[in-house]
Structure 1
Amino acid sequence: MTVVQPDVTVVIGAYEAMPYLVDCLASVEAQTIGHARIEVIAVDDGSADGTGEYLEEFAERTSLDVTVIRQDNSGGPSGPRNVGLGKATGRYVFFLDADDRLGPEALERMVAMADRNGTDVVLGRVEGVNRKPPTSMWGQTLERTDVFSSNIKFTLSAQKLFRHAFLERHSMRFDESLWTGEDALFTMEAYLRADGVSVIADHTCYYLVGREDGKHVTRTGSHTLRFDSARALMNLIADMVPAGARRDALMVRPFLVTLLPQFGPKFLKDGEAVRREKLELAKPLVDAYWTGEVAHRLRVHERLRLQLVAMGRSDLLVEVLEFMKAKKTPETVLEKGGRRVYFAYPFFRDPSAGLPDALYLAEPREARKVPGYKEVGVDQLLRRAVRKARRVLTPAG
């Protein structure tokens, strides 16, 4: 008998996933791609709430090809995903969290997108259910792009379609030593190695479900785990991308999403010992990877806080955070005929602090919101360049 290779293997790592697992599996069963084209490998990671039993009942009654693996708890999502990936036989692999669910036609559309463009990774639009999803990458559908030409670096969760042969060629697996952010590491590596990435922005392919009990791995764990995650992602980017603007563009993600929240409102609640520890953990990361190019890509308050972290100035950082906590609006200072805007957060032009004006300088995307701002257009920049060239080239008379 000829065995037909499935188009897609859906890998579901499940731990204490009831009752969310019911809708999750129903969403797979409802996929329009056809049951013969789907393989499901579900790994119960030592659940005690009936998750394993429900998976086995589902496998018995569905016409889908379902393999259920039950194992002792591994402590995180990497282990179950790696087990499922090791058993996968499909042309593509999709990692589905047991709390979430697929959108209608998701697999059919994503497989067709990958086949049409020969891309190694496909992102399908994500919507949140009682949970905030990533948004900046869904501006338009992109048949073929990469991590440098789009905003996909801001969605590094594992819930993507990956070409199986591509993952095997690079021996890609999830890092089981990380307790959080393991999917960011895996997905960023895939983006960097991929022969093209596709984005489906005009159809919801995935529903990110917020559990009422709040049990999300990304919401739990100590601050040291966040620094482990940031360090791993920054080191991966540095290993794979030479120093320069392209590396800095990617470094924005771990600085902004992983590191900066440790120096937000929660920092005010931290004891002095924890504050010192956070600054010590951040120091080697900012020393190695915090550059002017990264800084200018951030908003003023983000850039200012990270610069104070880089300087080890916990005292100044606390005052900035207190200012923000009070929901105060910084005064805007317009100079150069309105072409330059500063946001006067604490210590702006304070000689005792010695912080450069550039920290407070608004980039155009922020400055445009300020009445009286006059953006310098390309034609004005060209005229300036011509005038400068003339001054340089005109001989002194």
Structure 2
Amino acid sequence: MTADGGVSVVVIGWNDAEHLAEAVNSALTQGDSVREVIAVDDCSTDDSPRLLDRLAAREPRLRVVRRTVNSGGCGTPRNDGLALATAPYVLFLDSDDVLPPGAVRALLRAAEAHDADVAGGLCVRRELPGGRELPWQRQLYAKKRVLDEPAALPRVAADTLCVNKLYRTDFLRAHAIRFPPGRYLYEDFVFTARVLAARPRMVLVPERVYVWHVRREAGRRSLSLDRDGVENWRARVRAHRQAVAELSGQPRLVRAARAGFLDRGLRMYVRELPRHDPSYQRAWWDLTRAYLTAFAPGDIAAAVAPARTAAAVVRHARAPRDLGRL
């Protein structure tokens, strides 16, 4: 890596001292592809600040940023880290996840070789403590692909994750692309849509570049896994509606984004409906039915068959029905 090259890895965390060191070290051990690791602590009250100080004392590439007020979400600390990044490319990492060996090098080489604004790779969801792994968007990353713009492969809009991608720092800054600040769940949806709306040149690679740890039995579940109340679904719908608005100038991406919402979001929450009480079911049904009125017939037709069936039932039934069958 030259003195003016490489990657800034932005690690964000809040009260996650148990996992933070593993995440930071997974970035630092990527080799000379990483120019710096910017750890943004979102006003933690546990041992996170002291742990970061100890790591920074022996690793000059680690920069520690402490927020004095908790932001309530992931967007603000990521924006803070992005604002401080000095490398040509930037990558985001959550404190409870890890970068597998060679991840940054694979993304950086692909981005530089193809002059790409965005380089994406395979994310693997690892269920803990069991260790079962599920590839995310496996088909999208089955082989290397170079896209002059996202519309060349519209289904990239269904990959709403921000963490399995490397971004040209100047590209994000030139288009003023940021995450929604504050407590905004599913901020990835909006950030990714803003990136795609700016029509970046992209390269996709089949290498594993991110391990997403799913801890369902943890004492404090992640924001996206805390689905006990209907507010989680309401936040997901709000974020997806905003993402679609960001993509409004590219109808093929809008269609792919809506099909992805049905394929993953709608199907996942429908499966969980029977375990909720009737008040949740009714609130969820009304909210979903109202949102699906914005979907064109072609949007629903683009989804997989189970998602099409679920969408049709919700759209046409005024009250929850056939939950077991759905």
Q: Same fold (TM over 0.5)?
A: yes
Contact 2:11–2:95 under 8 Å retained in 1: yes
Deviations, residues 320-375 of structure 1 (Å, cap 9, x unaligned): x3235xxxxxxxxxxxxxxxxxxxxxxxxxxxxxxxxxxxxxxxxxxxxxxxxxxx
Q: Could you tell me which amino acid in structure 2 is paired with residue 48 of structure 1?
A: T
Q: What value does the CA root-mean-square deviation take over the aligned residues?
A: 2.5
Residues 1:129 and 1:273: Cα distance change in structure 2 (over 3 Å): closer
1:127 paired to 2:124: yes
1:86 is displaced (CA, Å) by: 1.6
Measured in 1, the distance between the counterparts of 2:102 and 2:305 equals: 42
Which residue of the other structure, out of 58, 68, 86, is the alignment partner of 1:61? 58
Q: Which residue of 2 aligns with 1:255?
A: 262
Which residue of structure 2 lines up, in the alignment, with residue 195 of structure 1? 200
Deviations 1:257-277, CA, capped at 9 Å, x for gaps: 334433x13322333333332
Change (3 A) 1:156 1:243: closer
Question: Which structure 1 residue ranges, 5 or more long, are not aligned?
Answer: 325-397
Deviation at 1:70, TM superposition (A): 4.1
Distance, in Å, in 1 between the alignment partners of 2:25 and 2:35 is: 14
* Deviation readout 1:1-41 (Å, 9 max, x if unpaired): xx94452111111112232222212212211335xx51221
Q: Which amino acid aligns with 1:156?
A: T
| CA shift digits 1:39-62 (9 cap, x unpaired) | 221111122331111111111111
What's the counterpart of residue 8 of structure 2? 9
2:146 aligned residue:
143
Counterparts of 1:258 and 1:219 in 2: how far apart (Å)? Answer: 12
Q: How does 1:218-297 map to 2 (within 5 A)?
A: 218-221=224-227, 222-242=229-249, 246-262=253-269, 264-288=270-294, 290-297=295-302
d(CA) in 1 for partners of 2:126 and 2:278?
37
Give the AA of the match of 2:158: F
The letter for the 2-side match of 1:270 is: H
Task: Return 5+ residue gaps in structure 2 as ranges.
Answer: 128-132
2:176 is matched with 171
Give the percent of matched residue pairs that are identical in Structure 1 and Structure 2: 23
Partners of 1:272 and 1:65 in 2: CA distance = 50
Cα 1:267/1:53, change in 2 over 3 Å: same
Q: For the pair shown, which has the larger CA radius of gyration, 1 or 2? A: 1
Please, which of 111, 115, 119 is the counterpart of residue 112 of structure 2?
115
Cα distance between partner residues in 1 of 2:183 and 2:193: 15
2:29 is the alignment partner of 1:30? yes
Separation (CA, whole Å) in 2 of partners of 1:62 and 1:170: 33
What one-letter code is carried by the residue in structure 2 that aligns with 1:189? R
Q: How far did residue 243 of structure 1 move? A: 7.8
Q: Which has the higher contact order (CA 8 A, sep 6+)?
A: 2
Give the 3-state SS of the residue equivalent to 1:233 in structure 2: helix
Within 1, Cα distance between the matches of 2:306 and 2:90? 40
Secondary structure of 1:307's aligned partner: helix
Aligned with residue 89 of structure 1, among 62, 86, 89: 86
| Equivalent residue, structure 2, for 1:45 | 42
Q: Deviations over 1:113-168 (max 9, x none)?
A: 11221211111222333264412322112233644416433322221211111111
Q: CA–CA distance in 2 between the matches of 1:55 and 1:143?
A: 38
Q: What amino acid maps onto 2:13 in structure 1?
A: A
Task: Name the CA distance, whole Å, in 1 between partners of 2:293 and 2:183.
Answer: 23
Q: Tell me which moved more, 250-259 or 231-240.
A: 231-240
How many Å apart are 1:95 and its aligned residue? 0.5
Asked if residue 311 in structure 1 is aligned to residue 311 in structure 2, the reply is no
CA distance in 2, matches of 1:277, 1:56: 46
Out of 136, 155, 164, the residue aligned to residue 159 of structure 2 is 155
CA contact (8 A) 2:7 2:91 kept: yes
Counterpart residue identity of residue 91, structure 2: F
Amino acid at match of 1:139: A
**1:264-294 C-alpha deviation (Å, 9 max, x unpaired):** 1332233333333223322332111x22212
Seen in structure 2, the aligned counterparts of structure 1 residues 313 and 46 have a Cα distance that, compared at 3 Å, is: same
Conservation of the 8 A alpha-carbon contact between 1:137 and 1:150: no
> What CA distance in whole angstroms lies between the structure 1 residues aligned with 2:70 and 2:5?
29
Q: Structure 1 residues 51, 275: CA separation in 2 closer, same or farther (over 3 Å shift)? A: same
Alpha-carbon shift at residue 182 of structure 1 (Å): 0.4
Quick check: 1:121–1:194 contact (8 Å CA) kept in 2?
Answer: no
Question: Relative to structure 1, is the Cα distance of residues 67 and 16 closer, same or farther in structure 2, using a 3 angstrom cutoff?
Answer: closer
Equivalent-residue separation in structure 2 for 1:136 and 1:314 (angstroms) = 36
